[in-house]
Every structure is written in structure tokens, then in C-alpha cells.
Amino acid sequence: MTDRISLHDSVGVDLLRRELGIDPHIVHRVRTVFFKKFRGREAAITELPCGVRNVFAERIQFYPLTLDARLDSEQDGATKLVFATTSGKRIESVLLRAGTGRTALCISSQVGCAANCDFCATGKMGFHSNLTAAEMLDQVVQANEQIAGENRSVRNIVFMGMGEPFHNESELYDALDTLVDGRGFNHPANRILISTVGIPDAMLRCARRYPTVNQALSLHSVRDDIRESIIPLARKYSIDELRATILHLNALQPSTVMIEYLMLASVNDSLRDAAELAEFLTGLRVHVNLIPYNAIEGAPHLVGSSRNVRDAFAAALKAAGLTTTIRYSMGADIEAACGQLVQKMERGRLARAT
């Protein structure tokens, strides 16, 4: 059987449309029902003339991923979605329902991650493969279908799941193109955030191409030695280079750069660390987000800072004039909080098979 064409492949879909003699406006309605209204495959297909529905449905791939499991937090508004790729690998996405009524979706860009950050479960997996743009977009589609019955839709899309997005730059950009395109998802660019461990050239390329897409830098320390001890990739890019990158981003983008700072006891949480961070960020347009550490397997040496320490650290930054918030981590009871995403289900199946 001929390989199916992804509905996300506009060129391939248009070639099929011509082959089947379908009016382009009808295909546009199919994509609108599926990408913007999230009413599912069957509803989308009914937009087609009866004579071509079966052929179109057979030739088009609507869902590149298979939903393998859904886990709902009993503590807060988090839902973890575990997807299987066609190669049998598993990735995770997280829906976050904030008390404000807004819904955010944290999506993955890779299976595993090569950055190998000491505090991240995904990094402990190592790198397996990049996701395609269609696989990234399918996480958005299926997440929206999951919450349609709640009269919700995803407002904010965050590339902060499994993987380093800028290690999959080409597919990331293809996904962004479809997300912001009026013929695709028509999702506002300023409601998209890309989180990176810090790859300067890619950060600037992205800002030039998508000036209103937000970026977040996982900084965690402004001392090169400490940063390198928890983020091995930091050996390639110095703190001074990252500061120059943030300054350049500020010139390219209207928004602030989010600075992610994981609070680790006796590693980076002293008032001296706060003072050094404040000095480093002086003159930059940034928003500091302090992140409580969520324990993971394989890192027994890491301990999260206490609430009192986090509060004191935040107060020091605010006193220095920096906009600062302390993130409320959701989904810890289902291992869906920051740094906890890992394909444990696949590991378990592999272990039973060997």
C-alpha cells in the first residue's frame, strides 16, 4: 500500500486533492474542522463529497501518533498524555489547567534528549530520535480533542517537554509554520514558548524568523563551573555568550526572555547566587521564573531548595528590580512536573520482553 500522506503536509494534500478532483475550498473546510475546531477525523471527513471520502481517508494520515495512556492528576489540573510513535517509541505531553481558566500544553520535540541535564529524567534516557513536525503538531490536535468535552482549548503551547527543540531545528520550524499559519492552526505566535538549554545561534535564527514567538533560557546559574556541572552542554557556550545572546534577542523581539532558574539546595540557591544573577541580568529585558526541583530517579545527590530559601531568593531578585515569579509545579503525582518526563512505560515493556 502507498505510504499515507500526512494531513499536515500541505503540498502532498494538494497533490491528492488535484488527483481526486476535490475543490480546494472543501479541503480547506476539512483542515479547519480538524486543526481549528478539533472535532476529529470522522467530522473532518464528512466535509468531503461522498464519492471521495473513502479514498481520501485511506490515503491521508490524520494521527501520526497513537494515544497510549492518559493520566490525570488527583492534586491539580494536570493531565499527562503518553503517545506511541509509528516506530514504537513513546513520548509525553502535559496539559496544564491553570486556576485562571487558561489551558497550556507542554509538548515534546524529541524522543529522549542529548543535553543530558543532571536534573532531568528525559536526559537520563539519552537521545533516541527527532520527532517530525507532524508528530509535534499531532500532540496539539489530540490534546485539544481530549479537552473538547470540558469546553476548553489549548491557549498556550510550550515546547518544554521531552527533547531540546533547537536540536531538531528544521522540524521545529515546520511545526511553527503550520501553527501560526491561518491555513493551519492559526495559533497566535505570542502564545508559543520555546524552552532551550541555550544554543545561541539557533536562538537568534528563531527570533529572526519568528520575532513574536517567546523564548525561555534554562540558565540555572551564572557561574560557568556550576552550570557545566548540571548542564553538560554548557561547556560549549559560556555565560558571557549567553548574555550577549539575550541582549540580541531583546533587540529582535518585543517580548521579554524568560529566564528559567531551577532551585537546588547548596548548589545555586544562596543569596550570593541571587546577587550574581541580578548583576548578570542587569540591563536585560527578562522575566525570572524560579522553579522548584522535582525529584527524579538517577539523581539522589540533588535536593530542592526549601520554600523559605526560594522566597528569600525571589525577594532578593525583586529588590534588585527584576520581575520574578516562583513557578507552581503541577502534575508531580503523575510524574508530569518539570524535569520528570521519561518513557518509563517503554522501559518497562522492554524489560519484560528481554
Could you tell me which residues come within 8 angstroms of residue 259 by beta carbon, excluding any fewer than 6 positions away?
216, 217, 219, 281, 286, 287, 288, 289
Q: Over its length of 354 residues, how does the chain's per-residue pLDDT go in tens digits?
A: 458 999 999 999 999 999 999 999 999 999 999 999 999 999 999 999 999 999 999 999 999 999 999 999 888 889 999 999 999 999 999 999 987 889 999 999 999 998 889 888 887 788 999 999 999 999 999 999 999 999 999 999 999 999 999 999 999 999 999 999 998 999 999 999 999 999 999 999 999 999 999 999 999 999 999 999 999 999 999 999 999 999 999 999 999 999 999 999 999 999 999 999 999 999 999 999 999 988 877 777 999 999 999 999 999 999 999 999 998 766 666 665 565 545 554 444 433 322
How far lies 186's CA from each of 145, 162, 164, 165, 217, in Å? Answer: 17, 24, 24, 21, 26
User: What's the CA gap between 154 and 159, in Å, rounded?
Assistant: 13
Reported as type and span, the H/E element at residue 344 is helix 344-353
Residue 123 confidence (pLDDT): 79
Cell numbers 554548557: residue: 234
- Identify the architecture of domain 66-353 in CATH: Alpha-Beta Barrel (3.20)
Residue 353 confidence (pLDDT): 28
How many other CB atoms are there within 10 angstroms of residue 219's CB atom?
Answer: 28
pTM above 0.85, yes or no: yes
Please pick, among 106, 113, 117, 338, the residue that the annotation labels catalytic: 338
Q: Tell me if residue 338 is catalytic.
A: yes
Residue 295 confidence (pLDDT): 80
Residue 76 confidence (pLDDT): 82
What's the grid cell of residue 329?
509545579
Q: pLDDT tens for residues 125-145?
A: 889 999 999 999 999 999 999
Please pick, among 47, 92, 164, 260, the residue that the annotation labels catalytic: 92
User: What's the CA gap between 121 and 322, in Å, rounded?
Assistant: 30
Residue 348 confidence (pLDDT): 43
Reported as type and span, the H/E element at residue 86 is none
Residue 297 confidence (pLDDT): 79
Q: Tell me if residue 117 is catalytic.
A: no
For 66-96, give one letter per residue: b (16+ CB within 10 A) or e. Answer: ebbeebebeebebbbbbbbbeeebbbbbbbb
Closest CA to 80 of 262, 352, 351, 338: 338
Residue 335 confidence (pLDDT): 60
3-state SS assignment for residue 219 = coil
Q: pLDDT tens for residues 246-268?
A: 999 999 999 999 999 999 999 99
